[in-house]
Amino acid sequence: MAGTDSETAILAEGVTKSFGDVKALRGIDLAVRRGTVLGVLGPNGAGKTTAVRILTTLLRPDGGRARVDGHDVVREAAAVRRSIGLAGQSAAIQEELTGRENLEIIGRLYHLTWPQARARATELLEQFDLVDAADRAAKGFSGGMQRRLDLAASLVGNPAVLFLDEPTTGLDPRSRLSMWDVIRSLVAQGTTLLLTTQYLDEADELADEIVVIDRGLVIAAGSSEELKNRVGGDVLEFTVADQHQVAAALGAIAPLGEGEPHVEADTGRISIGVGSGGSEALVSGVRALDAAGVAARGLTLRRPSLDDVFLALTGHAAEETPEPAGRGRKRGRAPDGKASS
C-alpha cells in the first residue's frame, strides 16, 4: 500500500475486532476519498462505534490495517490523533464548565496560547449558534446544544478528518435538521467526514457514499440512490384487514412493484417498493386493492427506511438482528420514532 495516498483520507482493510466471544468486526473494508462524506449505516450492535474507535486510535484492531490521513492507526497513532476530530456517542463535554470554557480548555490541549484558544472558542460558538449559551454551564444545555458543543469541541484543532458517531440519535426533529445544516457547512469547507447513523435518510442527506454494516460485515456499499434501488424505490405499505385476503392483496399489488413484496405474518402488513411513482403509485394501489375486493387499512407511500434496505439486502429487518445477551434494546426504526432504549 502506498505510504501517502493523498487522495484517500481513510482506508481500512480487513479490520477485525472481537470482545470475548463477540465478533464486533469480521473484516471491514472502507475507503473515503479526501473531501467526501462516508455514511456508515447499521443497526444497534452492527459494529459502527467499534470501527470508529479503531480508526480514531482509541482501540487496537485484532487484525487487518487502517490508515487515516496517510498514517497507520496502530504504528502512527499520535500522528493520526493530530489529524482527526471525533464527536462520539459519549460526549467529551465537561458538564460543570461553560460552553466557552470547554472549548478554551480543549484549545489549550492543542497547545494554543490562551488568546488563541479564546479566539477559536469565540469563532466556534458563533459558527454553532451557541453564543447565547457560551457563559452557561453545559449541564443546563438541551440535548441539541450539547451535541453542537461536542461537535464544536471536535473541531478546535481544525482536523482534516472528522468522525461523527451517530450525531443526531436522540435529537428532536428540529435539532436534527439544524445539526444537518452544521454538518453540511463543515463538508462545504472541505473536511473529510465519516459519519455513522442508523437512519437511511440521514446518510441520504449527508453522505456521498454509504456502506451498510450488519453484524460486523459490510453487506452493501454505494450511493444512496443505488441502495434505494435495491429496495425498489418508494415503499407502498398497508395492512390487510382480513388475514385470509393476504394472497389476494399480494396478487393485486405485485404488478405495481419494482421489488419483492414483504408480508409481516403476524400483523398482515404488506410493503412493496414502487419506484419513484409518487402519488400515482398510491392511487394505483387503492384501485388495485379495490378491484380485488381487498379491504386495506393505513395505505401509505413512504421513502425507504433502513429497515427496508435491510430487508432487501438480508431478508431480515434491522431490528430482528439477534442481539448478544444483555443488549436486548431496540432502537432506530425511524428518525422521529422515539428511542426505546
Ligand X SMILES: Nc1ncnc2c1ncn2[C@@H]1O[C@H](COP(=O)(O)OP(=O)(O)OP(=O)(O)O)[C@@H](O)[C@H]1O
The minimum distance between CB 206 and Mg ion, in angstroms, equals 17
Residue 44 binding target from ligand X, Mg ion, none, CB below 5 to 8 Å by type = ligand X
Least separation in angstroms between residue 254's CB and ligand X is 34
Quickly list H helices, 32-171. Answer: 48-55, 77-83, 99-109, 114-127, 143-154
- Residues in the interface with Mg ion (CB under 5 A) total 2
Residue 166 vs 308, nearer CB to Mg ion: 166
CA dist., res. 102 & res. 94, Å (int): 7
Residue 197 near Mg ion by CB under 5 A = no
- Sign of the CA dihedral running 339, 224, 1, 217: positive
Please measure the distance between the N-terminal and C-terminal CA atoms of the chain and give it in whole angstroms: 42
114 binds ligand X, rule: CB under 6 A: no
Contact 287, 219 (CB under 8 A): no
For ligand X, the binding residues in 115-154 under the rule CB under 6 A are none
Q: What share of the chain is helix, strand, coil (3-state, %, to 5)?
A: 40, 25, 35
Q: Minimum Å distance from CB 333 to ligand X?
A: 13
| Residue 48 vs 148, nearer CB to ligand X | 48
Q: Does 169 bind Mg ion (CB under 5 A)?
A: no
| DSSP 3-state of 106 | helix
Distance between CA atoms of 168 and 144, rounded to whole angstroms? 8
46 binding ligand X? (CB under 6 A): yes
Q: Which stretch binds ligand X (CB under 6 A): 40-48, 113-121, 202-210, 280-288?
A: 40-48
Q: Which stretch binds ligand X (CB under 6 A): 45-53, 134-142, 173-181, 307-315?
A: 45-53
The one among 49, 83, 102, 271 contacting ligand X by CB under 6 A: 49
Q: Check residue 327 for interaction with ligand X (CB under 6 A).
A: yes
CB contact at 8 A, 31 and 14: no
Out of Mg ion, ligand X, none, what residue 19 binds, judged by CB under 5 to 8 A for its kind, is ligand X
Count of residues in contact with ligand X, rule CB under 6 A = 15
Binding segment (CB under 6 A) for ligand X, from list 43-51, 122-130, 200-208, 258-266: 43-51
Here the cell at position 12 is: 481500512
Q: Pattern of binders to Mg ion over 49-68, x per CB under 5 A?
A: x-------------------
Alpha-carbon torsion (145, 91, 165, 335), positive or negative: negative
The 8 Å CB, 24+ separation contacts for 280-284 are 281/234, 281/236, 281/256, 282/236, 284/256
Q: How far is the CB of 306 from Mg ion (least distance, A)?
A: 14
C-alpha cell at 41: 449505516
Q: Per CB under 6 A, does 83 bind ligand X? A: no
| Contact status, residue 207 vs residue 180, Cβ threshold 8 Å | no
Positions of E strands within 143-241: 161-165, 192-197, 209-214, 217-222, 235-240
Give the nearer residue to ligand X in terms of CB position, either 184 or 327: 327
Contact 193, 182 (CB under 8 A): no
Find the part of the chain contacting Mg ion (CB under 5 A) among 42-50, 98-106, 217-225, 235-243.
42-50
Q: Note the residues at the interface with ligand X (CB under 6 A).
A: 19, 22, 24, 42, 44-50, 89, 198, 324, 327
Q: Note the residues at the interface with Mg ion (CB under 5 A).
A: 48-49
